[in-house]
Every structure is written in C-alpha cells, then in structure tokens.
A and B are shown apart, each in its own frame.
Chain A
Amino acid sequence: MTERNALRHPAFWVALVVLVVNDHLLKGADLLPGWLTGKLSDFAGLIVAPLALAALLGARRKGLAFALVGGWFAAANLVPPVAEATSALAGLVGVGWHFVVDPTDLVALAVLPFAWRLGAERSGRSFERLALGLAVAASIASPTPEPFYSTAAYLVNDTDRTLEVRVRYVDSSVRCDEVRERFDEVLARDAYRPAIRFVVEAGEVLPLDRGIATSGGGGFADPGLPPERPVDPTTAHQGDCDLVILGAEGLPETIVFWEGLSIRTIPIDTTGDRRLQLEDSGLFLMDDADGGLLVDVPDTHYDLRPPVDVYDGGARCRDYGTISGFDWSSFPMWRDARIRVLEVEPTVDGCVSLALEDLDAGGTHEGFLCVPPEDFPFARNAELRITHQEDRLHVVRDLETADGDVWRTGELTVYRGVEGLTDGPFQVTLDTVDDACVGVRMECGGFRVPAAAVLGVPGDHTFVHPGDVLERDAADGRRARLRVGRAESMWATHPACGAGRDVLGPRLEALVVYGEERR
C-alpha cells in the first residue's frame, strides 16, 4: 500500500470528517464535554496528519513522517517548552494554535499503528490531491483547542471580580509524611520563595503546580514579578506533596499544603459545564460575609493554615551543645589497602591530622579525620589496612604472630550520614528520645528533630545520646566502644543548611573502636 492509497481509505475520510466537525462545530458548543472533544481531535489528528505528511514526503519516508508527527505530539504533551514553541511557530504562520501540555493525551498515540496499516484501492490522482489538500487544511487549520491545564493543584477565582493572587512556593525540600501534620510550624516564612503575582479573572483557574503556573502554561494573566531564580518545575520533596503561601487582598497569608493529588486535565475557567469539572479537587477563593476572601477546600488532599511566626518547639529540645558529626578528608577510595601512618597529630579543634603512605599504590596522602583523638588507636609508623567508602571508613591493624596467626591490635570504623549501623555488639538505629522536643526550626530553611542512637537488640533498649559513649564486650572478647556524634532527622532542608544537614531523613554519625584481641 502506498501513502496515496491510504488517503483513499474510508477510515482516513472518517477521521478527516471527525477532525473538521469536532474542531469547528463541537468544540465550544457545550454539546460534548471538553475532555471528549479534546481527545477526539487527538485521535483523528493522529490518523490524518501522519498520512498527509507521508503523502507529501513520498513512500520511502513514511516512517519518517510517522516518527515526526508521533515524536512531536509526545514531546509537546510532555515538555512545556515544546508546546510553547509549537504555539509560537504556529502563530508565526498565522495559525491560532494554543497547545497545552497534557500527558494524558499520549493515549492517542495508540492510533498510529492503525493509521500505518491504512490502505486503499487505486484511484485517480485528482481524488488523491483533493484528499491530501483537505487533510493538510484540516490538520493545520484546526481552531484553538478548548484551553485547559494539566495540573494537580489549582485555585479557582470564584468571586465576581478580578483578583491579584500572590503565590510563594516553598524553597526548602520537605519530607511529606513528617511535615503533613505540622507544615505550618516546620518552616518560617523565609523558607518560601519571593511571591509571584497572578492576576486571575473572575471565574478563571490558576494552576498551582510548579512550572505550569510560572510558565504561564495556559494564558492567564501574569503581570510580572518574576522570581530571582526560575521556579524549578520539580521539587526535591520526599513524597507527593507541595506547599505554598497564598495571599491576596482581603485574604490573610495562608499556607496551603497538598498531598497525593494526581495530575488531571481541567478547564481554565468555570464557564458552562466546566464548573462541574472543577468542583471536586481544587481550592476556591470566595467572598466572605465581611468583605474579605475565604478559601473553600472541598478536597481533603488540601490543608490550609496560617503561618506560625513564633515557634518555640526547639526550646524544649535537649541541648547537645555544639556536637558535630564525624567526618574525614578526601582520601582515595581504598579497598583494604595497606597504609602506613607517617604522621598522626591532634588538631586544635579535636580532630586528627594524618599523613598516610599508600604501600600498595605508592604516594603520600595528607588529610584530617574528625574523630576524638582518643578514639584513633593507631600510632606513627603503624601499618594499617583501610577501606574507604562514602559513608564508612574502616581501619584495622593486624600483626602476624610467630605462629602464623593474625593478631588484630586495633580496629576503628567511622560512620558518616547513615540511618543505622550494625557493628559487633551494637545494632543501632535512630529514635527521638524527648517527647517535649518537637523539632528545631532552622534559619537556613531546615527543620531538624534531634535524636539519639538506640540499641535495638531484643530486650535491650539503651539510648546513647550525641556525645555519649557506650562500651560492651564483642563476641570475640574484645572491648568495643560506641561513640555517637550527630544524631538527628531532617524533616526539611535547604542547601543553605550546609553539608551534613542538606539531606532529608535520619542522619547518624558514630564510630566503633575495638581494643586489642587477646593473645
């Protein structure tokens, strides 16, 4: 079958008629739901457009034609800049396309295999030309599709006047499950980005998903106030949530938290039957009896609270002073490497300065190991074996005895940024120990909950607080010492919180040091 034959297939003509009737008669006539007319256009267009392009390019380029149309359609429904570029290019040639990103439209790609197989009996060239001309015209002269957004969260101006809405996206990343009940306390106002102002006409919808709102992804008015940095359409939150501070004249600043909302296609306003599509999953800004505004929340996925400006929950937390974690310099990623200690000295701040000779690969490495000097059981000229991983530094000193056995004279393992550890007699996890301590709000935009190490052996529930030490006998008879450095869980964080506190979740820094094996 040639592409010219395909243009004579009845299915092609049905698709062409559907495309023309749907775009020019049905859309905007309130006869069919908006989502249905949108999908009809997609299905019919993905039959008509690739076949028409293939006919123009020639039989040998049928694959290219299908790939171009299918690839463009997929990209434009996934990548906002592609959709915007499509609309812009169409505008340049006088076609009023307004392409809206909607991943659910990708379902229409299923029709491409069907279009590929279309064939027809040979007919006169004039009929082919007529079909091709109509197909091209129908494909590119389609009127502006009924505008809609693809967004999870949105706000409807349900008043009868234009509103200027201020939206401040949270700049920190959060653990959704942890902040869900306390999102108003966890972050100060400063943890939110500068406000973006949106002018929302009466009955219009403001999508709240990052990127959609700030890219103007649908034509609502945005008079300016671009943020200092572009709003990243994605977040680093752990979980499916987001937070903004909403403000408007007559509406006190309100933190909106939403979670578990799926992306859906919604119309951009409430005209006609579109109102029905909006009612169950958005926020509605309405007039209140006092001349102000209120936010109506029909959907349980949203929660609204005023910001908590004075938070003193951190004052009830146990003060661990300036206890910091254990850390080390950028040594090579040794794997059981033979290393000789050339220099070992305590530093002014209680770390250990080291000069190490790599006996396997050669070379000398100078650096620092921030553990208490008394926990570094190795002296100058000692020959060690070191394994270095991102979150673990393991150092042992083995001596060969006269009878050929190996005698371990010292062992140190330092853990950095782990959730827990199992080392000899210690099985350690993190837990909060102080019910009165409900977390510390940090100036950097973070929120941390102090914790302690918990020894989780059945029947044993011993807490080891940051800075504390616990000694036990290991199974081989050696005396083992656990020292806990930093122990906390980050519920919210921001790069400004600095290394060590810029990752969400629990973070334990600890070391286990063993004495000599018995001889």
Chain B
Amino acid sequence: MKNRLVLAPLLALAAPVMGCSSDAPGAASLPPETMGPIPSRTVTQGGAQDIGFFRSQVGAGEVPRPDAIEPVGFFAEHAVDLPPADCGDTVCLHANLAVAPGIDRESNWTMAFVAMNTPVDPRELERPETHVVLAIEDTTRSATVAAHAHRLLRALTAELLAGDRVSVVRIGESAQVLAEGLAPSDPALADAVGGLTATDARAALYDGLARAAQLTDGLEGFGGAHRVVLVTSGVADAGITDDMRIVALGEALAGQGTGVSVVGVGEGYRPELAAQISEGGGGSYYYAQDGDDLEEIFRLEGRTSLFPLATGFELVVTPSPGYRVGRIYGARRAWAEEAGAHLASPVLMVGNRTGAEDVTEGRRGGGGGLFVELIADATSGMGSGAPAFIVTGTWTDAQTGETVEQSLTVANGLAPGENPGGMFPHFADPLRGKAFMMLNMYLALRATTELYHGGNCPESLGIEPALLATYEGWQAEYDDPDIDADWALLTALSDNVQSRCGAVEPAPPNVPMSCFHD
C-alpha cells in the first residue's frame, strides 16, 4: 500500500503544471524577477544531509529500494529561497501553502510547508573550543578513507580553531587510539592517520565508538565541547556486534552532550545501522561516494556541524477549521494527532548555503523544509482567505539557552477544498514555490522505485515523462541547480528501470484516488 500512498500528491501537483493541463506551464504565472536568491543562511536539522547512497546506487545502474531515498537527506540537498532572516532570533520560521487539483482535476490537494533560516554566518560565530574524535573504520571495505586520509585531515583541520583538539581512533578487528587530543596544527596528526592501512577484514564498531567515548571523558587541559565523527561501512562484524548496543552507545554519547556524526563509505555500504547511530547520536549523516566527496563532507562537518543553533526543536502544525492532517514529509521525527502534526528534531544547525544558487561547495547543507499534507473539508462552510493552519515552533537557543517560540498563521486564498482556477497550484506565498517543486521531485523518485519494485514497469517508466513538462517549464523560468540535479537523477533512475524492463512502453501512472485520502 505504501507505494501507492505517495503517488497521489505527486500527481496532484505534477498534473496541473504540465501535460494533463491544457494551460500553459504554470511557472509563467510567477513573476520571475521576484524569485532570485534572497540572502539568508540555511538551517539544517542534522540527521541525513544527502541521498548519496541512493545516488551512488543509481550511478551503478541499480534501482534502489524505495526506502533508500531518505526525505530529510533529499530535502537537505535543496536550498529554498526564503524571506530574509530578520525575525530577531537566531532561527526564523517561515511557512507557505500550496493548493492544487488532484489527478482527476476535481479532487483537492493542500500542502503546508515550513522552513527555517538564520542570519548567523558560522564563520563569524563564536563557538566553544571543540574536541573532534575521528573514529575511522580501517578495513578493506573502507579503503577509500586510508587512501585519502591526509587530505581528509587537512580538509577538517582547516575549518577548526587553534584551541580545538583532534583525536583519531582506528577501528579494525579491535580499536586502537592513534592520536589523543592533538592540536589541529600538530604534525603528529598526519603521522597518526598514516597508521590507517585498510588491511583488516572486520570492524569492531562498538569498540571503536566506545574508545572514542572514553576520549571525550577527561581530556587533560581541555574544557570545551566534544564531537565524534564515525566513518563506517555500516557493518559491525567484530567484537560487540549487537546493533542495539551500538545505537545505545551513540545515544548515551548524545545524552552527555557529545554529538555523533556518521559518514558512510564503501561500495558494500549498509545504511541501516549507520543511520540509526546518527539518529540516536543527534549528529549529521552522510554517504561519501568517493574521495572527493569524503573531503567535502569532512570540510562541511568541520564548518557547520560544530555550530548548533538550537536544540530541542519542536514544531506543531495545527490545522484550522476545515482541514485535518494527512501525511508528513521531511522531519526526523514526526507524528500526527487529531489536533495537529508534531515534528521534532534534536538539533538545528547552520546550513552551508545562502540560497538556491549557492552550490559552489556542493548541494549539501541546503536546509530543505518540512511538509504537512492538509486534507480539506469542502463542506466545512469556511470561506476563502481563512486561516489554513497555524505553525508554532519552540526550541532552545544554543547560544543563550533561552527558550524561543515563534508562531505563524497561514491563510488559504481559496476555500477549503476549492481548487484554483486553471490547473496551476495556488500558493499562499507565490514567490516561493520551489519547495513544492522539490517535493514533486522527491515523490517522483520515490514513486519510480516503488512502482518498479512492485513489478509495475510501465507506470514506473511513466513517471519521468509525466513530470517532463513541469520540469522544463520550471527550469525555463528559474534554472534552479537543485531541480536540475534532481532531474538528472530521475532520468538516470528511469534509464536504469528501462534497462531492466526491456522493451516496455511507459504508461501513465494510475493511482486509486482512495489512497489520496488515506
């Protein structure tokens, strides 16, 4: 059932902007001069920062399983231009609403979008001295790390301050401390990573992480913060291998204030355990496709992950009369209740991008956003222009320790359940429709894999052509590098599906509308 559930919103939004409409591409409705990048720095949730593993599988000619495309990681690769971060706090909340007809042109699809940005530039932010413990798997599975160890170390230490400290733990059949509490400029660090040989066959992941944890406890002469960066192939096959134990160790570290970021490496990468460690450890989560990618991640980790803006972030989206909550996308933790949707993330960090055009250092750190589907009740009697939802965010400011609360009310220019004239979506803030295009691309990728894995080749192949007009219309107006990269990925994925399905003709995806209201 899951494979059908996500399709409806995709098609609901895709359909109006493209082929199934006789209207011109809707993007023309938006004044392009107002869509340029507005300077602001993105805010990320931590957790998955990319869909690198999904991308690497597609690059290898495979059709990944649907759950390989992690929505938080996908959205984090997108920078959505937001209004200036002038709310007066270090984190500013923004919200938008899209209303579109469904695939049948009669039903209604209403989606709330929430995102954050910040005026903070991490390069100008004062932060406590930090002790970074690199816990690096050193096996044949993770040979990329040993091969690029020195440049990775340079990338990381270039972003650190003089008062920071670096330790290195080698994880092979057992754990071994190669360096303990050295200054970033200490030449002994280079000697230490020279001890990575990629010769062991198995990894004692627990032992390595536990050894790293010990290093965060009582580093002599150091009173700052600690952070563990675990580089792993995702396989724990020596020593204590119980996944729950390993995840619990990451949680225990997070509980004492030490975040654990996880960098996945290797062709045989197993994402399940690594993702759980990252989730429990409250840090970032990446997958490095090669040495260059690994270097970028180390630089990014040194630059941004050490700058928590807020902790204990919670968001409540409360539907107004005439609406109820449907599906939720893009939050690390989310649940729906009668009264509204709850979304939570243990930490908010400074992103690495200032806007959609800023991709000079890759697409990670875009910030993305959170989506909550609102199911409209056309019989509610509510008129146009009434509030559709209220979003309330609360968090603890990491700099001041103060609790911050922000609240926004977003109105729908249409009555609940009313579709816009023509087939183009109605946006509460028409200047910022990219978020919904981003959601479209996510749903397209996911639906392609779901339909393929369900054995439905024709409809899986039908996703890409169904979205083509939308993509072309959007890019003609905005030429967005994120959407361009998404399209390249969708095209490659569709090619992989075609190569497996043989001479099968694409068919329009056919989704039972009952699923839309599920």
Contacts and interface: CB of A to CB of B under 8 A. Distances in A.
A166 interface: yes
A351 interface: yes
B2 A225 contact: no
Interface string B451-476: 01111110000000000000000000
A190, A444, A499, A501: which has the most chain B beta carbons within 10 Å?
A: A499
A391 interface: no
Contact of A224 (B66, B206, B501): B501
Contacts of A465: none
A197 B500 CA distance: 11
Interface string A441-479: 000100000000000000000000000000000000000
B238 interface: yes
A325 interface: yes
A347 B6 CA distance: 43
Given A194-B452, A225-B500, A498 B272 contact: yes
B173 interface: yes
Contacts of B503: 223
Interface in A174-232: 189-190, 194-197, 223-226, 228
Contacts of A143: none
B204 interface: yes
A322 B255 CA distance: 15
Given A195-B453, A368-B210, A498 B243 contact: yes
Interface string B361-373: 0000000000000
A247 interface: yes
B125 interface: no
B252 A328 contact: no
A228 B65 CA distance: 10
Contacts of A499: 236-237, 241-243
Contact of B243 (A166, A190, A330, A500): A500
Contacts of A366: 174-175
Interface in A324-345: 324-325, 327-330, 345
Interface residues of A, number: 42
B244 A500 contact: yes
A330 B174 contact: yes
A190 B454 CA distance: 9
A351 B210 contact: yes
Contact of B2 (A196, A309, A501): A309
A189 B245 contact: no
A13 B174 CA distance: 71
Nearest to B280: A322
B273 interface: yes
Nearest to A248: B455
A511 B111 CA distance: 53
A366 B173 CA distance: 12
A329 B207 contact: yes
Nearest to B237: A499
A228 B63 contact: yes
A350 interface: yes
Given A168-B455, A189-B2, A349 B249 contact: yes
Contact of B272 (A196, A197, A444): A444
Given A194-B63, A224-B502, A330 B173 contact: yes
B455 A247 contact: yes
A345 B457 CA distance: 57
Given A223-B502, A226-B500, A498 B242 contact: yes
Interface in B245-299: 245, 248-249, 251-253, 256, 270, 272-273
Contact of B252 (A196, A228, A348, A368): A348
A350 B255 CA distance: 13
A22 interface: no
Contacts of A353: 210, 214
A110 to B, nearest CB: 44
Contacts of A501: 243
Contact of A367 (B65, B66, B207, B251): B207
B217 interface: yes
A370 interface: yes
Nearest to A417: B242
Nearest to A229: B62
Given A329-B204, A330-B173, A348-B213, A324 B501 contact: no
A137 interface: no
A32 interface: no
Nearest to A228: B62
A370 B245 contact: yes
Contact of B206 (A310, A368, A486): A368
Interface string B187-212: 00000000000000000101100100
A382 interface: no
B455 A348 contact: no
B238 to A, nearest CB: 5
Contacts of B383: none
Contacts of B241: 327, 498-500
A68 interface: no
Contact of A330 (B66, B239, B249, B272): B239
Given A309-B2, A325-B245, A498 B501 contact: no
B171 to A, nearest CB: 12
A223 to B, nearest CB: 5
Contacts of B213: 347-349
A368 B500 contact: no
Given A309-B2, A347-B210, A368-B210, A329 B455 contact: no
Nearest to B250: A349
B402 interface: no
A329 B217 contact: no
A96 to B, nearest CB: 26
Contact of B455 (A197, A486, A497): A197
Given A168-B455, A195-B455, A224 B500 contact: yes
Contacts of B453: 194-195
Contact of A328 (B174, B240, B244, B249): B240
Contacts of B236: 498-499
B220 interface: no
A496 interface: yes
Contacts of A497: 243
8 closest Cβ pairs, A-B complex: A195-B455, A498-B243, A499-B241, A224-B502, A166-B455, A324-B244, A349-B252, A500-B242
7 contacts: A225-B502, A329-B206, A330-B239, A347-B249, A349-B245, A350-B252, A498-B273
Given A194-B453, A247-B454, 16 more contacts: A223-B503, A309-B1, A327-B242, A329-B174, A329-B204, A329-B206, A348-B210, A353-B214, A366-B175, A367-B174, A496-B270, A496-B272, A498-B236, A498-B242, A499-B236, A499-B243
Interface of A: 166, 168, 189-190, 194-197, 223-226, 228, 247, 309-310, 322, 324-325, 327-330, 345, 347-351, 353, 366-368, 370, 444, 486, 496-501
